[in-house]
Structure 1
């Protein structure tokens, strides 16, 4: 029986790697090390990270002529599917993207991830505790963070003004009223990538946090029971939003970073809001035109009468984990990627938020500074549910919430379906 997994406090974004295990290191003539190939998969398909991560790999290879890094860059869903296929076959990439939490814990339990505690002991004090927490289990370290942040609402100030909205909503009822105002003004309120499912789960997760509270979500990870009134209420509030038909035309078939997807719809000024993580501005600019000074950010609203605090944040980031059979150079590359002189360049470029102590001043973008401030003052933190829980449970959350948004599942059916999978996994 798999051990119960409590929800992890924080997580981090990603650059990962692929291949079905490390290349064997061979000794060349004269005792010099032979050539080593590291397969690296990562999710950074948008600028600035795509180019920055490529540059880091080239620099590392230049400093280590016997190492070849082969990078495979995949978007979110393709990455998850490919990693799942490999790990289910009993193998793991040399370097791979991870959000930590229950998914990483399951990979560790399967013996697929290297314990890098002793290898990184010299650099661990450089990281903030929140950034590290999603990659540490039972006092051991299984990855290093490259990003941390929170999910919140990114909004178009010009479209809000057009609808007569003078300030972002602080409560859920005010949010729903603003959705009505936007629709009345002929503005599409929300961009959503319905095809990819994970962006939709943010709504149910945040509503569950605001209504039931963080402790209830943590308890559900232990007792595998989501059939509770507050979780049903979260679904009812999401249904109330969906019933307003707030999303762009064709949202059920829309991707996230595609030319006609969620980020482009937002970046091209065709929707007023999107609920997304700290990478949203960069992806909006990459997939669309970008909003520049018209882009604003506000936290997910409080739900009147709810047990959760508006100061509780939901999100994650990403990190780098090393396959159990990877050669030593894989760990060295992880340390290289997260060294201050290298990682701070990604922070300055607006690609990631600080994970190292003292990086705060490198944040230049005013919206990302607001996210960093929100993160620093968070009263509680919840990792993405599709990463906090074991993979099958997280996938069921995504699937069931997508069906709720599409109108094919009731709030009660959502909690029942998640509970059934949670109990079977528990």
Structure 2
């Protein structure tokens, strides 16, 4: 969700998160409930808008400028400026203590869902927008929608098909145990690092939370986080965390996670020096591009679902990437809304990134053709309990969408931290369930 060019959605930095969660409500009180209405006549829309983005790569290589030029064919009187932020979450979080956080921005994961109306202008009603767009529940507060993702993503393993084949593995593993066996075969039969944690970059570790829903193909997985124990035996998050622990504990990851390098991992996987990384569909094109630059076959880059099946079928959760929103303090809300609508509907950003379109009637991207061929079931999670989950996460200080606890998990697995896995996960569960009691059923 700069994704060190692109990273998973809903990520929040750990350091200083309490500043915004506990103390900052912005200065949006005077404009609470404001709408950013869609313009009727593009020729009459004017103003200069600033778009905040984590896509430093696309700003640096001129891609965003090209999008803006296309946008100006429809909206000639709107000037679009981009501000690319390397540490998007932490930088925007600080700026949101003022009114100066751009005209269009991605909603940071640190913002409480219930606070969206304080910071962002409404894009319309859920009833209206849900007819056309996916993921509307994720930013709906009080029946109004406050953000729209330009792409949908599904988590999965980016892998080098050639390396896996050299290890004798030609079928996707269907259980965590099979997955571990396959990584062991890669270790013994190839020169590749079977799995790469991206520990040092931190944010990729949060992608393991998006296992939730896939293990049991459960659209109500978010509700179970709100009302149950995420680390109970067999629960989705425990299954995912157990697998990550076992990978590291069994010596199937890089020797020193603290020296990992996200950008360097792309050409290394493309060349077959790394076999596998848990990321998302958004990453595939970046690894394919790395293969082209490295002179290797982009067709070697594959994508596989989490190793779990229900009734003989894999399942994968489809969710929004960062949601774009209009700053409630923007002096050019109409122009900002025009940008969001155009970028979502007409920019081709989804196709350029081999991503899932947020438009309900759009076909799936080619990167998911193997999923279609294998009959992988794609589901969207019910996010009606999403706000409660964030409150529980905040109060428990577990941080399911922050990297800290999984860095601790990796350190535990490699012997850099003392304790047992059961003790560690049971400790998380205790903090989580105690926070549930304080949040209560009405939150």
Q: Same fold (TM over 0.5)?
A: yes
What does the per-residue CA deviation read over 1:154-191, in whole Å, with 9 as the maximum and x for residues that have no partner? 22121112111132211111101001111111321112
CA distance change for structure 1 residues 373 and 359 in 2, over 3 Å: closer, same or farther?
Answer: farther
* Alignment CA distance shift 1:191-1:382 (3 Å): farther
1:74 paired residue number = 85
Matched residue, 2:64? 53
Task: Number of aligned residue pairs: give it.
Answer: 382
Question: What is the correspondence of 1:26-65 to structure 2 with a 5 Å cutoff?
Answer: 36-46=47-57, 51-61=62-72, 64=75
Structure 1 unaligned spans of 5+: 1-10, 15-19, 23-31
Cα deviation code 1:199-230 (max 9, x no counterpart): 2233365278527966565233246x556344
* Corresponding position of 1:203: 208
For residue 215 of structure 2, give the secondary structure of its aligned residue in structure 1.
Answer: helix
Question: Are residues 1:127 and 2:132 paired?
Answer: yes
Distance apart, 1:37 and its partner CA: 3.0
RMSD: 4.3
The residue aligned with 2:251 is 245
- The CA distance in 2 between the partners of 1:68 and 1:374, in whole Å, is 45
Equivalent position of 2:356 in the other structure: 353
Aligned to 2:274: 271
Distance in 2 separating the partners of 1:216 and 1:148: 18
1:367-386 equivalences in 2 (<5 Å) = 367-370=367-370, 377-379=377-379, 381=381
**Structure 1 residue 33: Cα displacement:** 9.2
Could you tell me how far apart the structure 2 residues matched to 1:59 and 1:193 are?
36
- 2:424 is paired with a residue whose SS is helix
Does the CA-based 8 Å contact 2:151-2:344 persist in structure 1?
no
Of residues 105, 116, 120 in structure 2, which corresponds to 1:108?
116
Number of the residue aligned with 1:318: 322
CA distance in 2, matches of 1:330, 1:376: 37
**1:333-392 deviations in whole A, cap 9, x for unaligned?**
1112123xx23x33443443222244317x4xx424345788983255388x99973574
Cα deviation for residue 53 of structure 1 reads 3.4
1:402 aligns with 2:407: yes
C-alpha displacement of 1:300: 0.4
Q: What residue in structure 2 maps to residue 180 of structure 1?
A: 184
Alignment partner, residue 136 of structure 1: 140
The aligned counterpart of 2:285 is: 282
TM-score by length of 1: 0.73
Moved more, 143-152 or 230-239: 230-239
Unaligned 5+ segments in structure 2 are 1-7, 12-25, 29-42
Distance 1:250 1:285, change over 3 A: farther
Asked whether the 8 Å contact 2:112–2:390 carries over to 1, the reply is no
**Contact 2:288–2:301, Cα closer than 8 Å, also in 1:** no
Moved more, 416-425 or 231-240: 416-425
CA contact (8 A) 1:148 1:355 kept: yes
Deviation of residue 85 (structure 1)?
A: 1.6
Residue 153 of structure 2 corresponds to residue 165 of structure 1: no
Distance 1:57 1:271 in 2: 36
Q: Distance in 1 between matches of 2:387 and 2:158?
A: 21
Q: Distance in 2 between matches of 1:103 and 1:375?
A: 36
Counterpart position of 2:93: 84
Of the structure 1 ranges 205-214 and 411-420, higher mean CA displacement relative to structure 2 is found in 205-214
